Amino acid sequence: MLTLFHHPMFATCRFVRLAFGEYGEELALIEEKPWTRRKEFLALNPAGTLPILLAEGDVPIVGAMVIAEYLDETRGVLKRDKRLFAEDPMERAEIRRLTDWYLNKAESEVTRHLVRERVLKPVMPETAGGGSPDSAAIRAARANIRQHMKYTNWLAGTRHWLAGNRVTYADLAAAAALSVLDYLGEIDWREHSAARQWYT
């Protein structure tokens, strides 16, 4: 069984777990608090980021999209119509664009800040950046949620799934990001019915 170093509140880690779940492949989980900068963890990934997959032969595979590509190359190609990626290069580019949108753009404009201020800082030691939440950072992140919801709503309203006619990595990336925000009660679904229908 492969092993994933993850944190339950990181969208990037949720995304990887969703992908393995879709393929019915079990994953041993190790919860990591990256801010403690554990030596063994930094030896696996000098960038000090999550997620990290220990793949066959315990080789570390670092980063959500890197893991997704690896999963596709070693498992996805055999999944036929359940494959979470497309065959066509143009469609693959669109799936990658949207996966990056949710795991990097939404992450750096919204998700990361709300998780840090509302979830992590209260449990982090002050030496690692813990302390009371920064209300300006929370306000700024909240102001950005609307644009991401509007875009998601537009995608969900004009396509069957976010990147086209099938469930792909793009849907899992969006679901991972929005599930973190939904858990924090940050999403007002009423104005975004197409997105809500896609999500449920």
Which residues of this chain interact with its own copies, rule CB under 8 A?
46-47, 55-57, 59, 61-63, 65-67, 69-70, 73-74, 89-90, 92-93, 96-97, 100-101, 104-105, 151
CA distance 37 to 124: 12
Closer to its own copies by Cβ: residue 164 or 184 = 164
CA distance 65 to 104: 10
Strand partners, 46: none
Find the shortest distance in angstroms from Cβ 185 to its own copies. 26
Closer to its own copies by Cβ: residue 20 or 183 = 20
Find the shortest distance in angstroms from Cβ 122 to its own copies. 25
Closer to its own copies by Cβ: residue 105 or 183 = 105
Find the shortest distance in angstroms from Cβ 186 to its own copies. 21
Closer to its own copies by Cβ: residue 62 or 124 = 62
